[in-house]
Amino acid sequence: MSEQDVVSYRVENRIAWVSFNRPEKRNCMSPTLNRRMMEVLDALEYSDDVGVLVLTGEGSAWSAGMDLKEYFRETEAKGLGAVRQSQREAYGWWRRLRWYQKPTIAMVNGWCFGGGYGPLFACDLAIAADEAEFGLSEINWGILPGGGATKVVVDLLSMRDAMYHALTGERIDGKTAAAWKLVNESVPRARLEERVTELANVLLGKNPVAIKAAKDAVRRVKEMTYDNAEDYLVRAQEAANFHDKTDGRKEGIRQFIDEKSYKPGLASYDLSRAASAPGHD
């Protein structure tokens, strides 16, 4: 398999379907895969053809976490410099994904272990198959859940669930992952793509500048005091106004107040008419 093949992707109807593509290795993340994933994310991020990115896995796994052979053993054999480089490459693409320009959805089709929690958390939304299985398996092979995984469960789960998950290494299925809020929801495997497509289309129907501002705001304010958050949100909205060349918020108000063509409590304004709409200043 060539280096390019470890990540596959296609773009259809403004949805970029990006897949971990080492099914024979349960999509575990090698340094090669991490480097390739960064290239793919880079190529898609500002493409006009892409409005939403979905991250999924080929075969039975979403991702079986870090590659114990290539990421850990072989890299450690090369020394500390190589270890740090591998960490930078893995953490680098997860960070890139956390602050991605487009909204992102993790479509968790199967196994999701350990290091896989990094990209899982990096995606804005996550939909799992009921049949998917999640686990912090690190404890089973003698390490703590590193690479951000401990932070992910503490941020997303209750302390009791996070501690249980980290200390026992027991697996949970998609339904429990949804109940624990590790993912937004779970659906039968047979309905997974359909549900993710439906969700992606909801996101595609929103103002993209507002989506980027909102997703960053949700992550940023978590670490802020109320006053800092209040101020950040004012500045972020003012910056979004500057970046939104369609002046979407004025158009959104116009279609509701003047045209009465939709109700913001019930649906989105019609983006397709924003740029050329009368009343646009």
Q: Does 165 bind ligand COA (CB under 6 A)?
A: no
Q: What is the largest CA-CA distance in the chain?
A: 68
In this structure, which amino acid lies at residue 115?
G
Asked if residue 67 binds ligand COA (CB under 6 A), the reply is: yes
Out of 28, 126, 127, 177, point to the residue binding ligand COA (CB under 6 A).
28
DSSP assigned state of 116: G
Is residue 66 a contact point for ligand COA (CB under 6 A)? yes
Task: Please tell me whether residue 114 binds ligand COA under the rule CB under 6 A.
Answer: yes
Among residues 3, 42, 69, 231, the one that binds ligand COA under rule CB under 6 A: 69
Looking at residue 158, its amino acid is: S
Q: Measured in Å, how far apart are the chain's first and last C-alpha atoms? A: 54
Q: How far is the CB of 98 from ligand COA (least distance, A)?
A: 19
Q: How far is the CB of 226 from ligand COA (least distance, A)?
A: 36
Please report, for residues 86, 141, 203, 220, the alpha-carbon distance to residue 124 in angstroms, rounded to integers and kept in the order given: 24, 29, 11, 13
Write the single-letter amino acid at 248.
G
The tokens of 48 are what?
């006009």
Please pick, from the candidates 20, 62, 93, 111, the single residue that binds ligand COA as defined by CB under 6 A.
111
Should residue 118 be labelled a site residue for ligand COA when binding is judged by CB under 6 A? no
- List 11's β-bridge partners, or say none: 16
How far is Cα 16 from Cα 28, in angstroms, rounded to an integer? 21
Told to check if 25 binds ligand COA by CB under 6 A, we report yes
Instruction: Return the number of the residue (147 or 208) whose C-beta is nearest ligand COA.
Output: 147
Rounded distance between C-alpha atoms, residue 191 and residue 131, angstroms: 11
CA dihedral sign of residues 116, 118, 122, 127:
positive
Select 132 or 213, whichever has its Cβ closest to ligand COA: 132
Sole binder of ligand COA in the list 15, 18, 26, 122 (CB under 6 A) = 26
Site for ligand COA in 119-148 (CB under 6 A): 137-138, 141
In whole angstroms, give the CA distance from residue 178 to residue 186. Answer: 6
Count of residues in the chain: 281
Residue 31 as a binder of ligand COA (CB under 6 A): the answer is no
Q: With CB under 6 A as the contact rule, which of the stretches 46-54, 87-95, 112-120, 191-199 interacts with ligand COA?
A: 112-120
Q: Does 68 bind ligand COA (CB under 6 A)?
A: yes
| Complex with ligand COA: residue 60 or 150, whichever CB lies closer | 60
Residue the block writes with tokens 């990115």: 53
Reported in sequence order, the residue ranges of 150-228 that DSSP labels E, i.e. its strands, are: 172-173, 185-187
Name which of 62 and 269 has its Cβ closer to ligand COA. 62
Binding site for ligand COA (CB under 6 A): 25-26, 28, 60-61, 64-69, 111, 113-115, 137-138, 141
